């Protein structure tokens, strides 16, 4: 089993090797996620309305 003190030293060393995104990159990524979420929600809304329309037609024929 490793020494806990040494483990935390290694974690600290690895943390310094991480390349963190800049503020601009973070904002761009956030904007892209929001845009893709809006596009996906609109897509599923259209598909849902399409299926609802045809299901209403099918159910009216059955009456």
Tokens of 14: 């690895």
| N- to C-terminal Cα separation, the chain | 73
4 CA to centre of own chain: 35
Indicate the range of 2-6, 7-11, 53-57 predicted with least confidence: 2-6
52 and 60 Cβ atoms separated by less than 8 Å: no
How is the chain split into domains, by residue range?
A: 22-63
The band of 2, judged by pLDDT with boundaries at 50, 70 and 90, is: confident
- Condensed to tens digits (0 to 9), the pLDDT of residues 6-48 reads 999 999 999 999 998 999 999 999 999 999 999 999 999 999 9
Q: Is pTM beyond 0.75 here?
A: no
Tokens of 39: 């596009």
């Amino acid at each position: 089993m490793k020494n806990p003190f040494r483990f935390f030293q290694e974690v600290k060393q690895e943390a310094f090797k991480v390349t963190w995104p800049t503020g601009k990159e973070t904002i761009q990524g956030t904007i892209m996620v929001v845009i893709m979420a809006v596009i996906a929600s609109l897509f599923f809304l259209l598909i849902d309305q399409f299926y609802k329309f045809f299901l209403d037609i099918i159910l009216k024929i059955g009456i």
